[in-house]
Structure 1
């Protein structure tokens, strides 16, 4: 008889990835995967304005956060050249592509008025400070970025970086290296370990003029996901109230989805360009309403319905076991063999038509 841990593990492997599978015969074009307005920024910190000898970043503007993501990718690309051609193997792609998906699906909009801070074609979209997704994403990208500054991953910057704050929910956020270090030292430490590891890498060869560094794939992915989870752990309690979402159903989906991500992180899921696009293929194209709580309407695709069903199932199993499901899964994934098997099943099930 199967043990209580094997059954939910099998359910997770078989149901969740299948829900992310591309439709048979379809092909995702690269231009559709990149975040909106990706080509409108060079990913250079010099793009930000300088005032009073400070580099000014407004984290409540979509384009400013997008620049932060592109800077992280641009500055770290050399360490991941062996992981994928044309810089597709950068470990920051998963976070970057997901950021664009949140904008496209209007999850940065004002909960009480979805037309405010909605996706705009001109690239001038704002990020509502009342958006739960916007608040959680803030901690993810800002902690990565400020830790990179603190560890001098970008080298010596000519000026101090100043993040523009908002009066609303001021205590919910930190807006500088000093402030985030004082409020969340453990999160900053975890992110710093990622950059210190990268800075310690040595160039070992060159392929067609492209330097190859001795970056260990599992090690750097573990550190990248660890920093992501540390930031999410801080943000989730701050933005779990239904007031940060347009509906209770959307709030519940947010928490369920972030829980499911923990399972994938434990497998050291490859957060590269193509694998990230596959992973997010079933992410719902619009905000959920309370009418979606029991019956999903027909305007959701098969992939979206499968993902929504799967993350809810994972949450229910984990809750019914008092969190034991996730604890057992993480313990299992400490084995390289188990991680390899989990990724093997995931990769193959992604190809199964649904």
Structure 2
């Protein structure tokens, strides 16, 4: 057996080992009893209508450094995409954009969009997003590429004006601020976003029963997300000195774990996204958290820290081969993807099994 085949054979057993190890840390996980915590702040207060944004000089102006403006962008995409998903469930819980919406809200609630060196600047509740927030910078690309690709593909209908983002006061060269700028700077990522929204637009509306689970839409959504993450993390490295080493490490650990989830076409709906985020740390990590698991973290949060660190450690030790083999294995069949999601749940979504 050659080394590549041997590596493929070892991928699933390795994930099972990780899941059992992380599971031993969470025999009695704490679960949030407040379902409203999963919704982004102000979710019900924004209508999701593009007319909410002001028009100046024949341009729709979006202050992408304000929490509520980014939330409006997410809500607009969410509302428009609702008609393309079958059997959405109560409160449209089957929309494939829930994972992105909810994670943005969780970044805000856990104070990861504030100024890392001074938590009083753009702190939770202030409504602004710091230009020095690594998480805020990464999320910039996620929401910008999705929104602008939806505009470019015609998914949002006939918009009479150009879209322009308010330019930040700092690090202006790290970002793009219009459809023209983002397409010129990042054509591949924009193409993936456009593919996703053109695919949704091409679907039958209202959807048929066969569209109950649209794995193509899930794949295209995650492909767009990963393209944005790849660009955003490169920018994040340039401003990472503002965060603690522990928070920087967790950021990269978590994003790598999400890449494993994406390869298995992890379901991005409301309930599954809420399960995944249950273990997301309720605050940024500090230098004091580097040695020991934080005392103020729940068992579930501690288990996630251990799990994502183990995934990254093994992947780094393999020189990235672990992720490559995982992606290869997941691409072989839907059965493999189902097995992959099972082991991911064993590893990251422990309450489903304990």
Structure 2 portions without partners, runs of 5+: 1-5
Match of 2:136 in 1: 134
Q: Distance in 2 between matches of 1:213 and 1:46?
A: 34
How do residues 220-231 of structure 1 correspond to structure 2 at under 5 angstroms?
A: 220-231=217-228
How do residues 56-75 of structure 1 correspond to structure 2 at under 5 angstroms?
A: 56-75=61-80
The reply to whether residue 273 of structure 1 matches residue 270 of structure 2 is: yes
How do residues 215-294 of structure 1 correspond to structure 2 at under 5 angstroms?
A: 217-241=214-238, 243-294=240-291
Larger helix share, 1 or 2? 2
Match of 2:16 in 1: 10
Match of 1:52 in 2: 57
Aligned length: 344
When residues 20 and 337 of structure 1 are mapped into structure 2, their CA distance, relative to the original with a 3 A threshold, is farther
Match of 1:104 in 2: 109
The reply to whether residue 317 of structure 1 matches residue 318 of structure 2 is: no
Give a deviation string over 1:236-285, Cα, whole Å, max 9, x none: 11112464542111111101110110001111000001110000001001
Structure 1 portions without partners, runs of 5+: 207-211
The reply to whether residue 89 of structure 1 matches residue 86 of structure 2 is: no
Q: Work out whether residues 20 and 280 of structure 1, in 8 Å CA contact, stay in contact via their aligned partners in 2.
A: no
- Say what the alpha-carbon RMSD is for the aligned residues: 2.3
SS at match of 1:55: strand
Match of 2:323 in 1: 326
Q: Distance in 2 between matches of 1:213 and 1:71?
A: 26
When residues 172 and 113 of structure 1 are mapped into structure 2, their CA distance, relative to the original with a 3 A threshold, is same
When residues 20 and 100 of structure 1 are mapped into structure 2, their CA distance, relative to the original with a 3 A threshold, is farther
How do residues 100-249 of structure 1 correspond to structure 2 at under 5 angstroms?
A: 100-120=105-125, 124-203=126-205, 214=211, 217-241=214-238, 243-249=240-246
TM-score normalised per structure 1? 0.90
Q: Work out whether residues 203 and 214 of structure 1, in 8 Å CA contact, stay in contact via their aligned partners in 2.
A: no
Q: Distance in 2 between matches of 1:18 and 1:104?
A: 28
Q: Work out whether residues 132 and 239 of structure 2, in 8 Å CA contact, stay in contact via their aligned partners in 1.
A: no
How much has 1:18 moved relative to structure 2? 8.1
TM-score normalised per structure 2? 0.90
How much has 1:36 moved relative to structure 2? 0.8
Q: Work out whether residues 29 and 351 of structure 2, in 8 Å CA contact, stay in contact via their aligned partners in 1.
A: no
Q: Distance in 1 between matches of 2:11 and 2:324?
A: 10
Give a deviation string over 1:211-245, Cα, whole Å, max 9, x none: x6847611110000000001111111111246454
